[in-house]
Every structure is written in C-alpha cells, then in structure tokens.
Amino acid sequence: MLVTLSEILRDANERHYAVGAFNSLSVENVMGAIEAAERLRSPIILQLAEVQFPEAPLDLMAPLFLQAARKATVPVCVHLDHGQSLETCVKAIRLGFTSVMFDGAALPFEENVAVTREVTRIAKAAGVDVEAELGKVGDSGVDTADVFTDVDESVRFVQATGVDALAIAIGNLHGHYVHTPQLNIARLIEIHEANRLPLVLHGGSGTSTEDFKACIHNGICKINVATAIQRGIMKQMNARLAAKPDEGYIPLKQVMIDASRDVVADHIRLFESDGKA
C-alpha cells in the first residue's frame, strides 16, 4: 500500500526501530525489495536520488515505484532522495512521490532554511512529506573532516521549516567505506532529545552492527541503503557468470532480483522493522 513518510516513521519513532530506504535503479531492485518486505512483513521506502537520474530517469522510474507500492501488501513510501533543487522536488511531487528530500546541507544555514521552507510549503499543499539535511555527510575515500549537525541549529532549522524528518551528520559517510566509521552516538542522542522528530541516517552501507543498533534505539527511524545493494548484486552476478559463462539474460535478471531481495532482507532484520507491518 502506498503511504507517506510520516505514516511509516511515526510507528518507528514510537517503537524504536528503523525503516530501510533502498535506492532502486531497476525493476529488479524494486521487485526484490518488495518481495523481501512482504516476506518479512516490514514497511519499506523505495527511493531514487537525483544523482542517479542518468541511470534511472525520474519520469520512467516513478510509475514503476508507484505501481509496486500500490500493489504491495505492506506499507511502502515512494521517496525522492537528495533532491538538489526546488524544481526537482516539485517534479517528484507532481509525479506522485509521497515524500521528497531537499538536500541543502552544503548551503549556508539561512539559505538552507529558506529553500527547505518553500519545498515544505509546496509539498504540504499536495499532501507530501519532506525530509531535509543539516550538517554535512561526508563521502567515503575523501580525506575531509565531517561537519557534525549542531544541536541548537537543528532546533532552529526544524522549527523554521516544519520538515517531517531530518537527516543528520554524526560521522556517517556516503558510498563504500574504506574504514568502518565511528559514529557520534552522544550527538545523536542530544539532537533527538532536542527535537523528537524522526531522524535519518545516510550512508548506511558499511556501518557496524553496534552503531546501527545504537542509532535505531536513539532516534534514527530511517536508514538509507544503496551501495550494499549494488555490491550484493555484483557479487552474485559474478559468481553466477563464473559458474555459467554462457548464462542467459532471463536467469541473470532473476539473479538481480534475488540479490536485491537478500540484501534488503538482511537490512530489514538489522533495522528491526521485520514484523512491524
């Protein structure tokens, strides 16, 4: 069933688990993710980031996401991940997404507030929820210090924008980690206690089990997963082709579906959302 982000995250926030948000670039990704969610009776978020549009155009993926969500027997939110402009967020809203993220984390604070507030105004008029980001989530392999989300700024930001969920920076990184990050759980707890709205962890791939558990028990309600799915598919595809070099196209599509399902299922169990639908 197609639902909004708030509908999914409300229960997660109350019962201290997290819902996986899986970046899906193909029909195989979507089929595998929905199969895992239905098997484990978990809510799920299907999402697509703006940087992925060249490989998976928004206007082509939107009908796929929405049809899969409507047919699913568990709650499914269709979410724009890391929208880079007001215009992209509006396009996703018009296409039927039930949630959009405007990522203004690289902007000066007041500009981030101003654009996020306008995205929220438009989205709310259409019954769509909004996620925003404050603080800078780093990129793996880049030797730069992360800018942690400031607690006082987070309160000002949430109050000024009216967002439904906030992505924060606590030492997490996008992409495949070279080294396991050390998350600042103390900062997470401070932000959660100051705001009490659902918090989001980006850069989920590569985080330790211990940090995942600490996050979901202290305010993180949505965790993004992208790299782990891609790596899971490539691992199973390479193994299949090594064993059967002349494998046909249709069986390989099933390998992609199965790999997507397995990675999503592992994260659903890790995030403790199984049985919550």
Which pLDDT score, from 0 to 100, does residue 143 have? Answer: 40
pTM: 0.92
**Interval 86-112: pLDDT, tens:** 999 999 999 999 999 999 999 999 999
Give, in order, the Cα–Cα distances in Å from 91 to each of 84, 95, 221, 264: 12, 6, 26, 27
Which pLDDT score, from 0 to 100, does residue 76 have? Answer: 98
Nearest to 24 by CA among 7, 55, 46, 1: 46
Dist. CA 86–CA 162, nearest whole Å = 16
Strand-strand pairing, 220-225 and 19-23: parallel
Which residues are catalytically annotated? 81
Which pLDDT score, from 0 to 100, does residue 171 have? Answer: 86
Domains present along the chain, CATH in parentheses:
2-271 (3.20.20.70)
